[in-house]
Amino acid sequence: MLHNFLHGASGTITPQSSRHSPEPDSDGMNTSNNTPPTTTITTVPTRPRKRIVVAITGATGALLGIKTLLALRALGNIETHLIMSKWAEATIKYETDYHPSNVRALADYTHNISDMAAPVSSGSFKTDGMIVVPCSMKTLAAIHAGFCDDLISRTADVMLKERRRLVLVVRETPLSEIHLRNMLEVTRAGAVIAPPVPAFYIKPGNVEDLIDQSVGRMLDLFGLDTEGFERWEGWKKE
Does 10 show up as a binding residue in the annotation? no
**28 among the known binding-site residues?**
no
Which are the contacts of 140, defined by CB distance < 8 A and separation ≥ 6? 168, 170, 179, 182, 183, 186
- Residue 60 is labelled as binding a ligand: yes
Task: Check the annotation: does 46 bind a ligand.
Answer: no
Query: Is 159 labelled as part of a ligand binding site?
Result: no
68 has binding-site annotation = no
Contacts of residue 139, defined as CB under 8 A and 6 or more positions apart, other chains included, come to 55, 57, 59, 85, 132, 152, 153, 156, 168
Strands 130-135 and 166-170: parallel
The verdict on whether residue 203 carries a ligand-binding annotation is no
* Ramachandran bin of 128, using left for φ above 0, alpha for ψ from -120 to 50, beta for the remaining angles: alpha
137 among annotated binding-site residues: yes
Is there a cis peptide before residue 36, judged by omega within 30 degrees of 0? no
Backbone angles phi, psi at 51, to 5 degrees: -125, 115
For residue 201, say whether it is annotated as part of any ligand binding site: yes
Annotated binding residues for FMN, written as ranges, equal 58-60, 85, 136-139, 171
Annotated binding residues for dimethylallyl phosphate, written as ranges, equal 201, 217
Annotated binding residues, written as ranges, equal 58-60, 85, 136-139, 171, 201, 217
